[in-house]
Chains A and B, each alone.
Chain A
């Protein structure tokens, strides 16, 4: 992987002669509005994602408050549906994806020795359209008739025949989110193809770069399909087409096929960069090289390819021919092979390593264990006859929250703690961070683990009321939910302290065992890095 380089300090001094632009960040609000700097844009993405995480989390609190006890007590069912819908949309498109894009912005150029992203102005555009998209989406909740209430998957006919007028706004806001993701992905992919420093060959690329390259490919391949799906919903609802209406020769199941052709690769879009992050953190704190670098790359590529031929495992109960059910079952189970390779490699990296347990490592370890639990429940759901039982129950909710919260989001937190000192030049408040970790770890399991039980016992998802037998578990789930939500305020405190540059200064390498180009530039990372590319040996 990435090895020695000429030091960036030299670069910077040498750059002062032939540099056209200032090395110091511009100030004021226009710095952020007009910026073309990958670090600024990365920061914008990360803060935006965190704010969305808190807003989406607040909606989850509404859901858990309603489900604290059986019966309808706090919100009416239509509002409950809007909360589940917008919670999902915000967390997927507003929190996890922008957070990964933010990390890519900050890290990819520094990791491959590039002066910036390949297309810096487009980079700014792809960020700034996002807040507007969510302004529209969240704003639609306040319109007469309310916002989207058909679930984040917006299945027809819920989103066509039975939806409210504001569906049009939902459709156009999803279009903007898609445009943003596609532009972001094009930027990442071109940066990696075209901007690598001399000597940074493909198989020397850090794994975060590899996983993001493959993620970007997935994004460009499937976000347009989502755009097609919402467009057909729009014309079905407002212009009298019948893509998803059997009376006109269409089929509501067609919607599900198109949606999940986007939706399944989307799942990997939200986890592949996490695999990259974990593959950086585990070697650092085990003080060993990553075990099986090449197999990690191939496993990532295999997962991405398989992700295109497994979509219908979301639709086992919608009435497909048996042959199709079998195909999608086996194809899905096949994914556990490359995923298993990854988990094995992480464990093998730690084997006989000289391990220490700094905050990023704690999150990374929690990731490996809890993501694997989510992976196993995914394997259970992949088995068609079993899925007939589990489909649309809380077991599914438990499954995808294990992979998305303790998977994707824990990896993002791990990444933030890992690279934050490089960004700010100061060590974050470790005590608070540890509180954040342990509170999150305990509460997240209290929140999601019992969902497996109520799901297996038959509690359906997306319903504001439930049978009395589920009352005890739901009480604990809700308590776990509130505790997890509050724990994130500790994270907020850590981040505010860090952004005010409080804390002990750190050296360039920050962590003893850290390897890669980003650790060889000064801390905090200068506003412009690698204006002249380093040579990777």
Chain B
């Protein structure tokens, strides 16, 4: 048995964090469920408290688990093989995120190429239109729904265009930060990563501003029919991902200030930067299919 040099694969000891995380998700699910149910009926109570408790527990779990993980990594327990496990795990996680967005993009494509035209009488659906909503005309963006809700479409020029540029630039700065890390140029690394975080925050700020503009000036709301639905769910979930991405980058920033990561060993940084590039790509898709087309 010609066993070559084999670096031991680190199998962690028992850990308390997963079960804490399970309780956290349980509380979040029950809390969020009740919270939503409270919006329609007086019967339900306590959603807010349970949800906050759950989020708090999740926070404790994240801090504890990551601390555990970072300590192990810093004490050199991790092999290259384990690093590959983490990288592959992250890649597949991002793939699952892609498929999550795919569901909403699918809804968008179906609504604009099939559902709305059919309601307007396309294909063999003349009678659908005639019997249900004879005055309805198919259009996209759907600024006037079959039941008469009207709204205004969000243009692509101006804010959305600026936001696109901001995110694309942030993808580049994030890449520069990664290159600096690999060259072990710490001050450049801090600068580029800091710039990325600022751009991320700027994007989020502008996105909030755009939402206010949509609600106040355009009358474009979550209830404005399927155009508003796809607009807000796609940009909203994207915004949540940018928020998470920014938090990840902030944690990485703090770790860099503490001197973590080496040119060879920086899985967390790589995962964070992959995640950031992923939210940027999703935005480009959004910009094309939600705003421009």
Contacts and interface: CB of A to CB of B under 8 A. Distances in A.
A500 to B, nearest CB: 24
Contacts of B4: 198
Contact of B26 (A120, A136, A166, A195): A136
A532 B4 CA distance: 11
Interface stretch (A173-181, A447-455, A481-489): A173-181
A276 to B, nearest CB: 20
A171 B36 CA distance: 11
A227 B100 contact: yes
A234 interface: yes
Contacts of B37: 165-166, 168-169, 238
A118 interface: yes
A385 interface: no
Contacts of A172: 28-30, 32-33
A513 interface: no
B12 A165 contact: no
Contacts of A21: 11, 13
Interface string A208-234: 000000000000111111011101101
Given A36-B13, A125-B22, A225 B115 contact: no
A6 B19 CA distance: 37
A18 interface: yes
A189 B92 contact: yes
A189 B146 CA distance: 46
Nearest to B119: A246
Q: Which residue, A18, A116, A129, has most C-beta atoms of chain B within 10 A? A: A129
A36 B1 contact: no
Contacts of B115: 246, 249-251, 253-254
A442 interface: no
B56 interface: no
B284 interface: no
B3 A532 contact: yes
A55 interface: no
A156 to B, nearest CB: 12
Which of the listed residues A116, A165, A221, A239 has the most CB atoms from chain B within 10 Å of its own CB?
A165
B9 interface: yes
Interface string B98-130: 111011101100110011101100011000000
Given A33-B19, A129-B22, A235-B222, A248 B92 contact: no
Contact of B40 (A165, A224, A247): A165
A198 B149 CA distance: 64
Interface of B is mostly: helix
Interface residues of A, number: 84
B223 interface: yes
B152 to A, nearest CB: 15
A162 interface: no
B233 A232 contact: yes
A329 B206 CA distance: 48
A242 B226 contact: yes
B29 A128 contact: no
A531 interface: yes
- How large, as a class, is the contact surface on chain B? 35 or more
A115 B79 CA distance: 14
A516 to B, nearest CB: 18
Contact of B15 (A121, A169, A248): A121
Contacts of A186: 89, 92-93, 96
A456 interface: no
B22 to A, nearest CB: 4
A351 interface: no
Contacts of B102: 224-225, 228
A31 to B, nearest CB: 8
B18 A121 contact: yes
Given A115-B9, A223-B96, A250-B229, A229 B103 contact: yes
Contacts of A243: 107, 111, 226, 229-230
B188 to A, nearest CB: 32
Nearest to A227: B100
Nearest to B116: A249
A192 B140 CA distance: 46
Given A35-B14, A128-B22, A249-B227, A221 B132 contact: no
Nearest to B47: A168
Contacts of A234: 36
Interface string B41-60: 10110000000000000000
A39 B100 CA distance: 31
Contact of B33 (A169, A187, A321): A169
B78 interface: no
A26 B85 CA distance: 26
A124 interface: yes
B100 A261 contact: no
A112 to B, nearest CB: 12
B92 A220 contact: yes
B147 interface: yes
B41 A165 contact: yes
B110 A6 contact: no
B213 interface: no
A36 B116 contact: no
B65 A121 contact: yes
Q: Which of A26, A119, A125, A135 neighbours the largest number of chain B CB atoms within 10 Å of its CB?
A: A125
B22 A242 contact: no
Nearest to A40: B14
A335 interface: no
Contacts of A231: 233
B25 interface: yes
B1 A535 contact: yes
Contacts of A136: 26, 29-30, 33
B106 A261 contact: yes
B96 to A, nearest CB: 5
Contacts of B43: 144-145, 165
Contacts of B114: 251
Given A36-B11, A190-B88, A535-B3, 10 more contacts: A118-B89, A128-B18, A182-B93, A187-B89, A195-B9, A220-B92, A220-B95, A227-B100, A243-B229, A248-B229
Which are the 4 A-B pairs with shortest beta-carbon distances?
A: A228-B103, A125-B18, A224-B100, A132-B26
Interface of B: 1-4, 6, 8-9, 11-19, 21-23, 25-26, 28-30, 32-34, 36-37, 39-41, 43-44, 65, 81, 84-86, 88-89, 92-93, 95-100, 102-104, 106-107, 110-111, 114-116, 118-119, 123-124, 132, 142, 145-147, 149, 222-223, 225-230, 233
11 contacts: A36-B11, A118-B89, A129-B26, A136-B29, A182-B96, A186-B93, A194-B84, A225-B103, A229-B103, A242-B226, A243-B226
